[in-house]
């Protein structure tokens, strides 16, 4: 785990981490060839982009990617099972750019100039809206979004995923630790994000766009690079003013601490209040009781956090206190279960990335893969539906 020490610190601080050249070129080429072969047929309503493409899910099933991811997350629900679903996410040139006035409303052409306020069009997955078909009243959360670049992205504004460093803490403060705001997020879905976006606008007015806690990092890099993103980290897709389609594939995973049954549909407030609660690969930040193998009823992290906030009189705290409050809550849980805290140590070894850095990628208009396989495999990968990465 020492090989990932710096990357883990970056992940906890920023809410995401990029690992370079994880997927071998032959696997990338096979997946990209299969995807491109269907793009020309996609106008046929009977054709689903990516449907039945085993070489896409092979990016997970037949590479070291699961070992790399679990070095950070700890054991996954997907561990020991082949994944049968992924999200294929091509972003065409002109995406989220303006349009040329042609006088013909049916045939508009992009001017390849990014929309002025595209940086504000971020989201988190698994929320109700009018596009994804998820019902209101629930949050279909998962542990991590894992993205794989299938094409080189050499510069920003090429349709890449963008992430907002530190936004996982902001989202936990605004929603996970504020029952009223959380209820609004559950019931209003994506519209409930206006609370956080209003704060973003206020920060921009004080510090300027892209500064302060709402800065942006772009997932640029080479085919085979991987990004791991905490569920609560705000993300979006950049406009594509390049001449190329940006190709990527995304997997959504759950750790083994997410509970049993239909865990992918379960609303879990503790993971929204404490972003690293379920990440047993991060012993300093995850739940000690659950990591030690005790049942969900043994976890007192949320209660401890609430007691900590109440004792300090901060009523939800501010950005500068988020990590301190989380550590305090988790410290109480560790003290209560000190006899078990050493039961699960980190894995003895892990594959070493050629490079780790803080950047990432996202977008709309992607397609869901339903590769061969069904049954419990769907449950293991259907977690929170995204809005395209």
Q: Which tens digits make up the pLDDT trace of 233-246?
A: 999 999 999 999 99
**Dihedral (CA of 11, 335, 254, 346) sign:** positive
**How many other β-carbons are positioned within 10 Å of the β-carbon of residue 250?**
25
Q: What is the mean pLDDT of the chain?
A: 79
Greatest mean pLDDT range, 90-104, 129-143, 158-172, 346-360: 158-172
Helix axis angle for 54-61 and 65-73, nearest 10°, is: 50
Cα 202 to Cα 129, 164, 198, 316: the distances in Å are 25, 16, 6, 19
pTM score of the predicted model: 0.80
Q: Given this model, what pLDDT does residue 145 score?
A: 97
**Dihedral (CA of 162, 165, 170, 172) sign:** positive
Q: Given this model, what pLDDT does residue 325 score?
A: 45
Q: Given this model, what pLDDT does residue 75 score?
A: 94
Q: Given this model, what pLDDT does residue 295 score?
A: 75
Q: 76 pLDDT band (50/70/90 cuts)?
A: very high
Q: Given this model, what pLDDT does residue 187 score?
A: 94
Average pLDDT score over residue span 15-27: 97
| CA separation for the pair 192, 242 (Å, rounded) | 33
Q: Given this model, what pLDDT does residue 174 score?
A: 96
| Residue-by-residue DSSP string for 293-328 | T--GGG--HHHHHHHHHHHHT-TT--GGGHHHHHHH
Q: 52 pLDDT band (50/70/90 cuts)?
A: low
Asked whether residue 384 carries a pLDDT value surpassing 90, the answer given is no
Asked whether residue 93 carries a pLDDT value surpassing 60, the answer given is yes
pLDDT tens per residue across span 303-326: 888 878 777 664 444 444 444 444
With CA atoms as reference, report the closest residue to 276 among 343, 214, 219, 322: 322
Half-sphere exposure of 272 (CA within 13 A, CB side): 24
Q: 11-97+111-307 — its CATH code?
A: 2.60.120.620
> What pairing do the DSSP bridges indicate for beta strands 226-230 and 356-357?
unpaired
Asked whether residue 57 carries a pLDDT value surpassing 70, the answer given is yes
Q: 278 pLDDT band (50/70/90 cuts)?
A: very high
């Amino acid at each position: 785990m020492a090989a990932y020490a710096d990357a883990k610190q970056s992940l906890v601080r920023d809410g995401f981490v990029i690992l370079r050249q994880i997927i071998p070129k032959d696997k990338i080429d096979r997946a990209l060839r299969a995807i491109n072969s269907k793009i020309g047929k996609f106008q046929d309503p009977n054709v689903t982009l990516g449907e039945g493409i085993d070489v896409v899910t092979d990016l997970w099933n037949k590479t070291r990617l699961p070992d790399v991811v679990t070095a950070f997350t700890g054991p996954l629900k997907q561990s020991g099972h082949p994944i049968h679903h992924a999200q294929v996410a091509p972003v065409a040139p002109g995406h989220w750019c303006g349009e040329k006035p042609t006088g013909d409303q049916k045939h508009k052409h992009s001017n390849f100039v990014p929309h002025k306020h595209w940086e504000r069009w971020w989201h988190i997955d698994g929320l109700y809206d009018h596009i994804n078909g998820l019902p209101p009243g629930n949050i279909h959360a998962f542990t991590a979004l894992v993205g794989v670049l299938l094409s080189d992205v050499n510069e920003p504004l090429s349709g890449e995923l963008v992430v907002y460093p530190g936004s996982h803490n902001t989202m936990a403060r605004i929603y996970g630790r504020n029952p009223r705001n959380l209820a609004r997020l559950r019931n209003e879905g994506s519209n409930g994000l206006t609370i956080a976006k209003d704060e973003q606008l206020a920060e921009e007015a004080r510090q300027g766009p892209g500064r302060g806690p709402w800065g942006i990092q772009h997932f640029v890099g080479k085919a085979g690079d991987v990004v791991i993103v905490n569920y609560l980290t705000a993300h979006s897709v950049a406009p594509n003013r390049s001449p190329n389609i940006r190709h990527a594939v995304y997997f959504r995973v759950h750790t083994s601490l997410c509970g049993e049954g239909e865990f992918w549909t379960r609303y879990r407030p503790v993971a929204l209040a404490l972003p690293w609660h379920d990440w047993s690969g991060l012993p300093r930040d995850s739940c000690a009781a659950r990591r030690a193998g005790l049942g969900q009823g043994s976890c007192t992290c949320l209660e401890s956090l609430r007691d900590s906030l109440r004792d300090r009189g901060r009523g939800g705290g501010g950005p500068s206190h988020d990590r301190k409050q989380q550590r305090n809550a988790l410290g109480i849980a560790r003290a209560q279960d000190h006899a078990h805290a050493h039961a699960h140590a980190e894995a003895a070894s892990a594959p070493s990335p050629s490079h780790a850095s803080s950047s990432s990628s996202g977008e709309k208009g992607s397609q869901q893969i339903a590769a061969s396989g069904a049954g419990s495999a769907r449950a293991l990968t259907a977690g929170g539906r995204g809005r395209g990465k």
